[in-house]
Structure 1
Amino acid sequence: MQVPVGFLSKLWSFVSFLPFFLLLLLLGSIKAVLIGPIAAAIIFLGNSAVIIGLWPAHFIWTYYCVLKAERIGLVLKILAAILLPLPLLLLPVLAISGSLLGGIGYGVFIPLMATFEAVGEGVADKLTHCFLDGTVSTTAGACTVVRDATDFCFHSYFSLMDELIRKLGDNETPLDIKLSYLPHSMLAVLIAVPFDVFMISGVALWKSPCMLLKGWQRLCEDLVGREGPFLETVCVPFAGLSIILWPLAVIGAVVASFLSSFFFGMRAGLIAYQEASLQMGLAYMVSAVALFDEYTNDMLYLREGSCFPRPKYRKTDRMNNETGQNNEVRNATSPLGEKKHHHKTMKALQRSKTFMEAIQRLRPIQIWDWLFRSCELNGRILLGEGLISAEDMEECIIKGKCKKLSIKLPAWCILQCLIRSAKHDSHADDVEVTNFNWPKDKVFDWMLGPLLVIKEQMKQLELTEDEELCLRRLIMTNNNDKPSDWDDCGFPSSDNIRRARLQAIIRRLQGIVVNLSWVPSFRRRFIDLVKALYLEAVEAGAIDGSRSVKRKIEADAASAPGSKFDDKDGEGSSKGAAAVGIDAV
């Protein structure tokens, strides 16, 4: 869709679009009223039953794991044993309340969005889709939400606890609290909390009128010119609603600032404890105000920096990330980094011309989809080479025991893309994951950050083709815990240091995949992927399929309408066969 030029063209575009928009809004609202309560009830009742049913097991097992864990020291165990009942009692209340609110939001917004998406570009028979889209799919999606919640409570939680009680390594030490550090830490909290609450709330209130006026100005300009969020039909109802509710958003921002100020103040106590210095804790108390002021200036496109002092609150530079300066800001201190930072800032200030251009920035769902497409492609190859057996897949499908396969296959996929990216400095799908464009999400920082480090390590190792082929077999068949695991494995290199470095990389990748497996949708999507690979192998005659396994797959497919072993957060596994995966790292 082209943006109209000139005042009369913009006015006519707005006037002609208004009746069309109101009809779609009315139809979407009717579907939301009819379908929303059903979807909300499924999510609320399903999640509540799972949470309440598993809560006694979670309560007992959490206490057991905390008291047994070697990585937690004695003092911290005693403190945890005293304080654990409160969060464990509040957790089901908060989870059930979140399920209710999330169910209502899902049941209302999904049918409404589906109605507007039905008239988008490339959709055939728009009239039929306007009435049907968002009805059955919303109900099926609500069931998927309950399934993901069940997987998280029943599998991800216990996997997380297994990691907690894992034995310490040779160079690891238990995490504990030093009692001598607590007095000045508590004193820092008592001083910092009221100070930060007063100062940060004051800064938020002072800038709230600017946020209100600038937001209204930008939204109204986009409304008249049909630009930004108003350009695509699917976004118009929410963008129009944002104009009306913008004052509530400003109030919410002020309230959020007030609530976050308590955490800033409490973090001053953590800094005082880490640095064993009351002075450092009070320095962070002052710096927190400057950090907040600088962040709000960036959000509102005001002057750079802050007028508040920003004293140093670390004795050393060992934890620069915690100062609020990420890799982009630190790189900006160099001439080359300054150019990159300036270029990125100018790009952020540019108004997006289309909705599709606006979402070209990497999102977590893109990387998530790339991982499963890569698992599908590499799963076919490994299955053909005999490195994935029919027994492994049948155990995953029938018994749900996918821990071995769901860790080793994604780990190999990630390692393969790192090897290829390090060797050729290339990437797939015209997208490259870097420090500057990956999702600005703390979880992805934790998971993707180490991958860039591993990529540089792979560059230094300069693997040969024979070593790459051998690694594929070693990841899928060996434990890779100690150097002796590679004895008599046929690895081309006899360099023990090189072997140890590769084993450390593999263990680190497997640890990253373990963390990824805790994400609610991981287990569902991986099992669906295994089902698709299994049926494909049976049809191709590569394996002799079990009748009981095929019956279970057919029953699962029949109970999941509109889903071919995958769901809407992927595009269907068959569509991703040609994709390489996350080769962009």
Structure 2
Amino acid sequence: MEPPSGFRPSLLSFLKFLPYFCGLLILGFIKGVLLCPSACLIMAIGLSALILGLWPMHLIWTYYCIIRTKLVGPVVKFLLLIAATAILIVWLIIGIPGSVFAGLVYGFLAPIMATFGAVGEGKEKPFVHCFVDGTWSTITGSCTVVRDVKDMLFHSYFSIMDDLRLQKPPEGKPYEIRLFDIPGALIAAACGLLLDGIMFTLIAFYKCPVMLFKGWKRLIQDMIGREGPFLETACVPFAGLAILLWPFAVVGAVLASILSSIPLGAYGAVVAYQESSFIMGLAYVASSVSIFDEYTNDVLDMAQGSCFPRFKYRKSKDESSHGHNAPISRPSSFNKEKQEGKRPPSRVTSFKNSIDEFNPFKLLDHLFAECRHQGEELVNKGVITMKDIEETKSGKVGSGVLNVGLPAYVILNALLRSGKANSDGLILSDGSEITSDNRPRHNLFDWFFDPLMVIKEQIKAQNFTEEEEEYLKMRVLLAGDPNRLKGALPEVPSLNERKKAEIDAFARRLQGITKSISRYPTAKRRFDVLVKALLSELERTMGGSLSTNGSQAQRLRNSVARMLSQKSLGKTANIRDEDPEAQITSSSRTPL
């Protein structure tokens, strides 16, 4: 949708759109008022029950993991216990009121967003959808939020704490605090809090009028020309409210600037401790004022640089600042903009497609859809067995073949596909490509994307043969089950001990990334759907229904084993009939 050009057509278009916008806003407001109590009740009761019910378990398990970990020394353990206690108490105090507030906000805003989204481009029967959308979906969405929070508090939390408890220190030496450097670090932090608190406040008050008038100017121009945030129908109400509430946003920015002086000033203690120098801590405290001043200049499009001095506060060359009054090294985006003559970004292009195309949650959906597709193939080949599905469905730890190995297997196939195509990014199974330009701008995604790109280049440099790639795939898939791994790995004469060690390293790193992905807020819910799909596929393949209780499950195991043994009878005639799991393992030796 191209906005009209010229002042008169733009003004007429805005006046025509205004009644339409007001009607949608009133309808969404009515739906929000009606649905807000129900959504708030669901989220408040559900989240509060989770917080209160799991809090004793979180407290006990946190203490246990901190005490048992070998990653840190006694002094750090003592400080971690104090910090964990404070965090858990704050979590209990803030969590319950926060759940009520989250329910109110979600229950009120979700219907409004759905009402404006119902009249978007490509929607059929928009009049009906204006009334229907955002009603039942708000209720189910509230239940989904409770479910995802439950997975985070129960699954993700214990997974992270187990890693802390079981992780070994690098080089066998635990992390410990140097007690002699603590006094100087504390003094540096006190100086930082005092100086940065005063200077950040003065800078924020000095620049707040610039932010106020520049923001109003840009928003009013976008409103008249139906550009920027006013281009998308779903965002018009919030963009309109932004004009009215912009002074409050400026006040919030000033308060945020003042509050930011606390962590930035306290970071002087970290610098003083890391460099074992009180002078370096003070140098950082003075330089942080220059850093903040130059950052705000960049945000407000003011003159670059800062009038405040910036000193060297790192001893090492790779981390050193650039000396007195040296400008901050700018990201590549600033350099690119400078080279192009500060060409402003297009204010006409819709942002909807750029967000929907590679949204982190969309990518997570794609990952589990591919896990289902390739998992069904592995079930049909007998690589994924009924035992794996039963252990995962029952909540047992199991071998990790399904919950860790299968997603890592899918990611490995994408890396191999991208490496063979000489792609700069990651090629998905549907042919779309994720690169550094169109990837989601989200810190959580960066944690996964950058390491995967490094692994892709390393695998590409190894130039594996097809047999070696199959060996790597099986190693990644079955790394959590050493007993099955020994019998399932294909024999590859070209592999020497060095290459096997490199393949093992790739497998461990991919599985580590997969474990991190499994802690994503919505990953557990999607994974449960995947398990049910694989269970249905196994039922369909075997021609019967699965039951996990009593002798019926044992008889089904025997029938599964007999069927799989018949498929591989020519190769595995010496398999013992009394061990059905051995038959399943033997059948999994067939290359994927």
Identify the TM-score tier after normalising by the shorter chain: 0.7 to 0.9
**Cα separation, 1, equivalents of 2:52 and 2:216:** 44
Distance 1:527 1:318, change over 3 A: farther
2:155 equivalent to 1:155: yes
TM-score (norm 1): 0.85
Contact preservation (8 Å) 2:468, 2:492: yes
2:371 equivalent to 1:370: no
Q: Mark the runs of 5 or more structure 1 residues left unpaired by the alignment.
A: 550-585
1:400-415 aligned within 5 A: 403-415=400-412
**Cα separation, 2, equivalents of 1:172 and 1:491:** 34
Deviation, 1:34, is 0.7
Deviation, 1:251, is 0.8
| Map of 1:567 onto structure 2 | none
Deviation, 1:172, is 4.4
Distance 1:397 1:486, change over 3 A: closer
1:216-295 aligned within 5 A: 216-295=216-295
C-alpha RMSD of the superposition: 3.0
| Map of 2:456 onto structure 1 | 455
| Map of 1:354 onto structure 2 | 350
| Map of 1:527 onto structure 2 | 528
Read off the aligned partner of 2:245 and give its amino acid letter: L
| Map of 1:171 onto structure 2 | 171
Tell me the secondary structure at the aligned position of residue 351 of structure 1: coil
- The structure that has the greater radius of gyration is 2
**Cα separation, 2, equivalents of 1:320 and 1:373:** 46
**Cα separation, 2, equivalents of 1:25 and 1:249:** 22
Distance 1:368 1:304, change over 3 A: farther
Contact preservation (8 Å) 1:384, 1:542: no
Distance 1:445 1:330, change over 3 A: farther
Contact preservation (8 Å) 2:364, 2:523: no
Deviation, 1:479, is 4.0
| Map of 2:474 onto structure 1 | 473
Tell me the secondary structure at the aligned position of residue 520 of structure 1: coil
Distance 1:395 1:258, change over 3 A: same
Deviations 1:182-216 (A, max 9, x none): 11111110111111111222222221111111111
Q: 2:414 aligns with which of 396, 412, 417?
A: 417
**Cα separation, 2, equivalents of 1:312 and 1:364:** 39
Tell me the secondary structure at the aligned position of residue 305 of structure 2: coil
Deviation, 1:548, is 6.7
Tell me the secondary structure at the aligned position of residue 359 of structure 1: helix
Deviations 1:22-70 (A, max 9, x none): 1111111111011111101111110000110111111111111111111
- Identical residues among aligned pairs (%): 43
Deviations 1:277-310 (A, max 9, x none): 1122122212322222222222222233333333
Deviations 1:348-370 (A, max 9, x none): 63324323355378543343333
Read off the aligned partner of 2:129 and give its amino acid letter: H
Deviation, 1:523, is 0.6
Read off the aligned partner of 1:202 and give its amino acid letter: L
Tell me the secondary structure at the aligned position of residue 134 of structure 1: coil
**Cα separation, 2, equivalents of 1:488 and 1:413:** 18
Distance 1:454 1:358, change over 3 A: closer
**Cα separation, 1, equivalents of 2:175 and 2:507:** 25
Tell me the secondary structure at the aligned position of residue 166 of structure 2: coil
Higher relative contact order (CA 8 A, sep 6+): 1
Distance 1:463 1:356, change over 3 A: same
Deviation, 1:491, is 3.9
2:30 equivalent to 1:30: yes
| Map of 1:203 onto structure 2 | 203
**Cα separation, 1, equivalents of 2:330 and 2:94:** 38
**Cα separation, 2, equivalents of 1:331 and 1:44:** 42
Contact preservation (8 Å) 2:405, 2:479: no
1:421-570 aligned within 5 A: 421-426=418-423, 427-428=427-428, 432-435=433-436, 437-479=438-480, 489-539=490-540, 541=541, 544-547=544-547
Contact preservation (8 Å) 2:354, 2:438: no
Contact preservation (8 Å) 2:408, 2:510: yes
| Map of 1:568 onto structure 2 | none
1:323-362 aligned within 5 A: 332=332, 340=336, 342=338, 349-356=345-352, 359=355, 362=358
**Cα separation, 2, equivalents of 1:54 and 1:157:** 11
